[in-house]
Amino acid sequence: MTRKDLLDIESLTREEIEHLLDQAAPFKELFTRSVKKVPALKGKSVLTLFYEPSTRTLSSFEVAAKRLSADVTTFDVPHSSVVKGETVHDTIATLQAMRTDYIIVRNRMPGLPKVIAQATRASVINAGDGAHAHPTQALLDGFTFREVFPETEGKKILIVGDILHSRVARSTSNLMRKLGVEVAWLGPGSLVPKHGPRDIKRFTDYDEAMAWAPDTIYLLRVQMERQDTQYFPSLREYTKLYGVTQERFKRIADQGAYIMHPGPVNRGVELCDDVMEYDRALIDQQVENGIAARMAVLYWLKPGDVLGD
Ligand code: CP
């Protein structure tokens, strides 16, 4: 059971997801040892190609690849010939000629990782393509969720915020549903799509959503950079209606719900500072688990022998 590329969560089976999450556990154990490295990808080359900013995903992939003993090259997009007008296709042809084994790509264009995957023998991993997909974020979220709830069937997750523009919401919702978790979305009516899976509950009112008794509340970042129109009156208004304010935080803590966030966090918008100190906030755990989940993905994928494999 293996694949060449990881482009989205939709195309993975529940068995494949569970295999990846199972595989991430021994990689995480490695982090407690003095030598955190295994030779699994010795002699293999990994290239990161990020056309959009990233803190967590980029560094997490680099650490993951190095812990598997791969050689890692960070393609420096702002200082590459991309700024001189080189097309993505020509960049890929150049990288193909270098016989890279794994390409990890982030780009604002939905579907670009698939185009690259079809044009190269390298294994391509989608590290975020516009509002479409962010599969490794979903895997690390699933891994973190399973650490808290080893039996995922019937658990409830409430995803809050800008669902419409969020690749994280799409991928994490899909993965959770595949694990048997009940998913609900909460946000302004303009940012909670009415189309899409019918089994996902939609809320626009915070109190109604909390009455649904979620086990975990997953806060999304408000993505001002992806909004071409005004979807809510102001950030202040958003925080008033959907942010975890002190008052809401107290209710969440009373209900014993966990809090997750993919980062980067807008403090004072999605959540108040105290949430970061909450003993059921899993935000740092998500970052740590990101390395283990990405090691599992790199270890699992198998580059093709020839173009188009
Ligand atoms: N969660 C996430 O994708 O964060 P970065 O944008 O920092 O990679």
The pTM for the full model equals 0.94
The residues lining ligand 1, judged by C-beta closer than 6 Å to any ligand atom, are 54-57, 128, 137, 262-264
Q: Using the atom order of ligand 1, give the atom closest to the CA of residue 262.
A: 1
How does pLDDT run across 84-131, given as a tens digit for each residue? 788 888 888 887 888 899 999 999 999 999 999 999 999 999 999 999
Give the tokens for residue 300. 């699992």
Residue nearest to atom 4 of ligand 1 (CA): 56
Per the domain annotation, does 9 fall within a domain? no
* Cα(293)–Cα(275) distance, integer angstroms: 25
Per the domain annotation, does 2 fall within a domain? no
Per the domain annotation, does 3 fall within a domain? no
* Cα(30)–Cα(241) distance, integer angstroms: 42
* CATH code assigned at 273: 3.40.50.1370
Closest CA to 158 of 198, 94, 103, 213: 213
Residues 61, 188 share a domain: no
Q: Identify the DSSP state of 6.
A: B
Give the tokens for residue 129. 């393509």
Report the side by side order of strands in the sheet with 123-129.
71-75, 45-50, 102-107, 123-129
Residues 123, 105 share a domain: yes
Per the domain annotation, does 224 fall within a domain? yes
Residues 293, 237 share a domain: no
Contact 145, 289 (CB under 8 A): no
Residues 35, 79 share a domain: yes
Instruction: Please tell me the predicted confidence (pLDDT) of residue 309.
Output: 47
Closest CA to 200 of 223, 218, 227: 218
Instruction: Please tell me the predicted confidence (pLDDT) of residue 306.
Output: 55
How does pLDDT run across 241-282, given as a tens digit for each residue? 999 999 999 999 999 999 999 999 989 999 999 999 999 999
Query: In sequence order, what are the beta bridge partners of 123?
Result: 102
Residues 148, 124 share a domain: no
Residues 24, 40 share a domain: yes
Residues 102, 157 share a domain: no
Q: Which amino acid is at 124?
A: V
Number of structural domains the chain divides into:
2
How does pLDDT run across 203-221, given as a tens digit for each residue? 999 999 999 999 999 999 9
Residues 256, 175 share a domain: yes
As to burial, measured by CB atoms within 10 angstroms (0-12 exposed, 13-18 middle, 19+ buried), residue 49 is: buried
Residue nearest to atom 3 of ligand 1 (CA): 57
Per the domain annotation, does 21 fall within a domain? yes
Per the domain annotation, does 305 fall within a domain? no
Residue nearest to atom 1 of ligand 1 (CA): 262
Per the domain annotation, does 7 fall within a domain? no
Residues 222, 197 share a domain: yes
Residues 270, 158 share a domain: yes
Per the domain annotation, does 173 fall within a domain? yes
Residues 215, 156 share a domain: yes
How does pLDDT run across 32-46, given as a tens digit for each residue? 999 999 999 999 999
Residues 201, 265 share a domain: yes
Domain that holds residue 113: 14-133+288-300
- How far is the centre of ligand 1, averaged over its atoms, from the C-alpha of 54 (Å)? 5
Closest CA to 175 of 253, 262, 97, 105: 262
